[in-house]
Amino acid sequence: MRLQLALKDALVGAVVAALLFVPLVALRTDVGSTGALTLRYRWTDAAILIGLVFIGRLALVLWMGRDGLRPSTSAGPWTLRLQRLGKLAAPAFLAVALVLPAIPGIDRYWLDLGILVLTYVMLGWGLNIVVGLAGLLDLGYVAFYAVGAYSYALLAQYFGLSFWVCLPLAGVLAAFWGILLGFPVLRLRGDYLAIVTLAFGEIIRVVLLNWVSLTGGPNGISGIPRPSFFGLPFSMAGGEGTFAGFFGLEPSSTHRVIFLYYLILALALLTNWVTIRLRRQPLGRAWEALREDEIACRALGINVTVTKLTAFALGAMFGGFAGAFFATRQAFISPESFTFIESAIILAIVVLGGLGSQIGVAIAALALIGGTEIFRDLQEWRMLVFGGAMVVIMVLRPRGLVGTRTPSIALGKRRAIDGKLVGEGHG
C-alpha cells in the first residue's frame, strides 16, 4: 500500500522535474564556430536529475510517510538539542573566530574568506535590527553600505582623513541617510515600503555611477588608504614607524590581513552587543512591539515614527561601518559592488537565519557566504546547490533556522516563544 503510494508520489515528482529540467538542462544553446547559436542536447544530465528526484521522493515517502516532512516554526528535536548546545555554541563560535588566525594551516585564503563572512555577518546583524526586530522590510540596505564605503573613500581622498576618523563619520553619514530616507517612506507599509527602499538602493547606485566628477563614476575610486594600526602603517619595508618595525616583527603581508580580520570581528561584535543590549531595553522592546502590532503601540503612547526611524538609522549606521571597512579592505570601490543582489543576499541571510535571531543570522551568513565559496569547484552547479538548500530550508523551516523568539525579560525562566505567535511585521 505504502509502496504504491510512494511510487505514485515519486512518479508525480519525476513528471514535475521533467517539465523543469528538460527545457532548462537538456536543451542548451552554444555559440558555434561560425558565431551562430547551435542547439546541444544533454539528455543524460536531465535524466540523471529526474532520476534523482524520483529516487529521492520514493525513499522519502517510503521512509517517513507522505506527511513526514512538515514545515515547522517551533523548536524541533534538533533545535532543542541545538538550543541546549546554543549556550555552548555561541561562545564556541566566538572562540574559533578569535583564534582563527593562530590556527595552524590557516593561510591567507582562509583569512580572506573569514573577513568576507564576517562582513556579511555584520551586515546581517545590522539589517536584522530593521527587518528582524522592527519588522520593516528593507530591500535597499546596500545603499547604506555604499554610503559608508564612499564616505570613507571620498573623505580620505579629498581631506586626507585617516580611517579611524572616517569610520565614525561613515556611520553617522549612513545613519543620516537612513533618517532622510526614513522620513518620507516610513508611513508606507509592507509591499510599498519594500518597493521604495528598493528604489532608494538603486538611486544611490545610479547617482554614484553618474556623478563622475565626484565619485569617478563607473571607474570607481582607487588608492583608498589602507588602515593603520593606531597610526602605525603596515608596510613591507619594515623599519621605524611601521607596525612590523615597532613590534620587532619580520615584515609580512599577512599582518594587515590579520589586522583587518580582527577589525571586522570587533565591528561585528559591536553590532551584536548593541543589538543584544537594546533588545532588553525599552527601545528594542518597542521595535518588537511595532513588529507585532503598530496600532496597539500607538494606543500605548509610543511614537511610532521616531521608533521606526531609530531602527532605520541604527541599522544604516552599522551598514555604514561595514561599508567603510569594505572600502579600506579593498582599497578600490566602484558602484558595481553595491548592486541589488547584495541587498538580496543580506536579506536572505536574515530571513534564513530567522528574523530577530542573532546566532541564526551568523550561521546563515557562514553557510551562505562560506558555503558558496567552498562549493566554488562545482562551478555552474554552485547556484543550484545554493538554491536547492534555500528551498529545503524554506520548506522545512519557514521562519528560518532559529524560528523561535527568546523573551527579553522573565520573572522565572526564559522560555523560547514559538514562531507561529511571533509577528513578521507589515512594513
Partner 1 sequence: MSRPILEVQGLTMRFGGLTAVSGVSFAARSGEITALIGPNGAGKTTLFNCVTGFYRPSEGIIRLHKPGEPPTELQRLAGHRIARAGVARTFQNIRLFPGMTALENLLIAQHNRLMASTGWGIGAVLGLSGYPRAERQAVELAKRWLTATDLMDRADDPAGALPYGQQRRLEIARAMCTEPALLCLDEPAAGLNPRESDELARLLLDIRAEGTSILLIEHDMGVVMRISDRVVVLDHGVLIADGTPAEVRRNAKVIAAYLGEDEEEVAAADDRRAMPQASAAGLNRSGSNP
Three-state DSSP at 216 gives coil
Radius of gyration of the chain (CA): 24
102 sits near partner 1 (criterion: CB under 8 A): no
Q: Label residues 240-275 b or e (16+ Cβ within 10 Å = b).
A: eebbbeeeeeeeeeebbbbbbbbbbbebbbebbebb
- Which of 22, 165, 169, 274 contacts partner 1 by CB under 8 A? 274
DSSP 48-82: HHHHHHHHHHHHHHHHH-TTSS----S--HHHHHH
**Shortest distance (Å) from residue 280 CB to partner 1:** 9
- CB of 200 vs partner 1, minimal distance in Å: 25
Residue 418 to residue 420: CA distance in whole angstroms: 5
Whether 416 and 75 have beta carbons less than 8 Å apart is answered as yes
The one among 303, 374, 378, 385 contacting partner 1 by CB under 8 A: 303
Residues 382-421 that bind partner 1 (CB under 8 A): 405, 407-415, 417-418, 421
Candidate residues 293, 383, 384, 396; the one interacting with partner 1 per rule CB under 8 A: 293
Nearer to partner 1, 242 or 404 (CB): 404
**Number of Cβ within a 10 Å radius of residue 276:** 13
Determine, following the binding rule CB under 8 A, whether residue 138 of this chain makes contact with partner 1.
no
Closest separation between CB of residue 176 and partner 1, Å?
A: 17
- Burial status of residue 72 (CB atoms within 10 A of its CB: 0-12, 13-18, 19 or more): middle
> Of 128, 157, 215, 310, which lies in the binding site for partner 1, with binding defined by CB under 8 A?
310
277 binds partner 1 (CB under 8 A): yes
Using CB under 8 A as the binding rule, whether residue 189 contacts partner 1 is answered as no
Give me the half-sphere count of Cα atoms (radius 13 Å) on the Cβ side of residue 413. Answer: 2
When the beta carbons of 70 and 413 are compared against partner 1, the nearer one is 413
**288 interacts with partner 1 by CB under 8 A:** yes
Residue count, binding to partner 1 (CB under 8 A):
38
Give dist(CA 215, CA 147) in Å, integer: 12
Beta carbons of 186 and 307 less than 8 angstroms apart: no
- Closest CB to partner 1 among 6 and 289? 289
- What b/e readout covers 164-182, taking b as 16+ CB neighbours within 10 angstroms? eebbebbbebbbbbbeebb
Q: Binding to partner 1 by residue 223, rule CB under 8 A?
A: no
In this complex, which beta carbon is closest to partner 1, that of residue 14 or of residue 402?
402
Name which of 113 and 283 has its Cβ closer to partner 1.
283
* Residue 297 interacting with partner 1 (CB under 8 A): yes
**All cell numbers assigned to 251:** 615584515
Cell of 197: 527602499
- Among residues 283, 344, 348, 394, the one that binds partner 1 under rule CB under 8 A: 283
What residue ranges bind partner 1 (CB under 8 A)? 274, 277-278, 281-283, 285-286, 288-289, 292-293, 295-304, 310, 405, 407-415, 417-418, 421-423
